[in-house]
């Protein structure tokens, strides 16, 4: 059975919120949730109900799969997830990402 890693879910929400230029207050308002609840979710100290997860995913424009799955085993879905993350980066951050990716691939057998 798959266990949800709420810390990872919260981290993804925080990253997407910031990449969209939203404050916790703005996200909370968009989702009709309290600011403190959004803060707890982002820290992974509270779990999301299915209703809240749908509200957050809609507000951030991401799929529930993106928020809730720790491991994506399907190759196409992995590539889509990477594309979604990278597309929201600035050109400078995108270049940094690719430099790290190349470094990781070059040394993957040693990791």
Residue 106 in domain:
yes
Q: Residue 99 — very low, low, confident or very high, per pLDDT cuts 50/70/90? A: very high
Burial class (CB in 10 A: 0-12, 13-18, 19+), 89: middle
Residue 1 in domain:
no
Residue 53 in domain:
yes
Residue burial 35-51, b: 16+ Cβ < 10 Å; e: rest: eeebebbbebebebeee
Unique residue bearing structure tokens 């100290």: 45
Domain span holding position 53:
6-110
**Residue 69 token pair:** 């799955």
Residue 61 in domain:
yes
Average pLDDT of the segment spanning 18-45:
96
Contact 72, 81 (CB under 8 A): yes
| Own/partner pairs, 30-38, CB within 8 angstroms, 24+ separation | 30/55, 30/59, 31/55, 31/56, 31/59, 38/13
What's the mean pLDDT when you consider all of the chain? Answer: 88
Average pLDDT of the segment spanning 57-83:
78
Contact 62, 84 (CB under 8 A): yes
Task: Return the CATH number at 83.
Answer: 1.10.260.40
Does the pTM exceed 0.85? no
Please state the domain count of the chain.
1
Residue 95 in domain:
yes
Residue 59 in domain:
yes
């Amino acid at each position: 059975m798959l266990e949800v890693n709420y810390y990872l879910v919260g981290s993804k929400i925080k990253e997407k919120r910031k990449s969209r230029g939203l404050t916790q207050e703005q996200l909370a308002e968009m989702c009709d949730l309290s600011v403190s609840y959004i803060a707890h979710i982002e820290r992974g100290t509270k779990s999301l109900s299915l209703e809240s997860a749908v509200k957050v995913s809609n507000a951030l424009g991401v799929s529930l799969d993106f928020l809730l799955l720790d491991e994506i085993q399907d190759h196409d879905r992995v590539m889509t997830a990477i594309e979604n993350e990278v597309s929201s980066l600035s050109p400078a951050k995108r270049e940094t990402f690719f430099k790290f990716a190349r470094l990781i691939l070059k040394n993957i057998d040693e990791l």
